[in-house]
A and B are shown apart, each in its own frame.
Chain A
């Protein structure tokens, strides 16, 4: 019966990891830096980048807080709250 349950689980459950959307990615990054977000995905995403390779992403969390995510050219990530 153990083999049977394994076969049934393999048929029913998805095997591959599902890709993360950009809204989920930004929300996860905000929460990883210790800020409250209130949900798994952000809205109203605005993205800018300068000539030096630095990226600035602004997004609104489900709890109403708006954050700015700065990604430097060497890959460092920092988050600050705007409102």
Chain B
């Protein structure tokens, strides 16, 4: 454990200094202690956890390579892995887990499976989530970042925008005025995002879904 002890020791080298400061400012003492604890925890995790994970995963890879030559089912799985070698990890790992024979080494070493599974889930979560219009409207209605009168004013603006889109569509000049309507839409969206300063999650989701909002407002209804 020399790695762990050397990793933990640096944050506590100035412990006398921090203790004196904590005595001068009693309100900050709890925060300082929490900060020191978190620094120690962070450095301990960084020093100890990662090398073990790397060792286990290397062993898992070596064992898979040695056993895969004997079993025809795992040979097929290896071929499928080799075919999709240029693609992402998300597609290669289920190909191994789909065949029961290929899972045998993973069942014998459950620790190795636990190491590889978070990497796969992180790859899947990297995709942007789908945001439905109904959910956004409901969240906009329920947010406390905007007052009731302001919500009504925004609703009036959106209804005016929809009415102008409908009138342009009836006249058959929607395509010609699309750029002007897009400018008005961008201004309206900017107003809403500015008003949602106190609800940054909703503001971010509306910003991400702006293209789908535009399409839902402008596209012809059948």
Residues of A11-55 contacting chain B, CB below 8 A: 11, 16-22, 24-26, 28-29, 32-33
Residue pair B153, A20 in contact (C-beta under 8 Å):
no
Among A4, A29, A32, point to the contact of B39 (Cβ < 8 A). A4
Residue pair A28, B150 in contact (C-beta under 8 Å):
yes
Report how far A29 CA is from B39 CA in the complex, Å.
Answer: 46
B156 at the interface (CB under 8 A from A): yes
Among B34, B147, B159, B199, point to the contact of A24 (Cβ < 8 A). B147
A82 at the interface (CB under 8 A from B): no
Report how far A17 CA is from B156 CA in the complex, Å.
Answer: 24
Among A16, A20, A22, A75, point to the contact of B156 (Cβ < 8 A). A75
Report how far A21 CA is from B42 CA in the complex, Å.
Answer: 41
Number of interface residues of A (CB under 8 A): 26
Report how far A22 CA is from B150 CA in the complex, Å.
Answer: 10
Residue pair B156, A76 in contact (C-beta under 8 Å):
yes
Among B145, B146, B155, point to the contact of A75 (Cβ < 8 A). B155
Report how far A8 CA is from B98 CA in the complex, Å.
Answer: 42
Contact digits for A55-81, partner B, Cβ 8 Å, 1 yes 0 no: 001000000000001010001110000
- Chain B residue with Cβ nearest A29: B149
* Chain B residues whose C-beta falls within 8 Å of the C-beta of A11 in the assembled complex: 31, 34
Residues of B137-155 contacting chain A, CB below 8 A: 143-150, 152-155
- Chain A residue with Cβ nearest B144: A19
Residue pair B152, A17 in contact (C-beta under 8 Å):
no
* Chain B residues whose C-beta falls within 8 Å of the C-beta of A20 in the assembled complex: 144-147, 150, 198
Report how far A19 CA is from B156 CA in the complex, Å.
Answer: 22
The verdict on A17 contacting B42 (CB below 8 Å), with A8-B35, A24-B147, A32-B150 known, is no
* Chain B residues whose C-beta falls within 8 Å of the C-beta of A28 in the assembled complex: 146-147, 149-150, 195
Q: Which residues of B contact A (CB under 8 A)?
A: 31, 34-35, 38-39, 42, 143-150, 152-156, 159, 191, 195, 198-199
Q: Which residues of A contact B (CB under 8 A)?
A: 1, 3-4, 7-8, 11, 16-22, 24-26, 28-29, 32-33, 57, 69, 71, 75-77
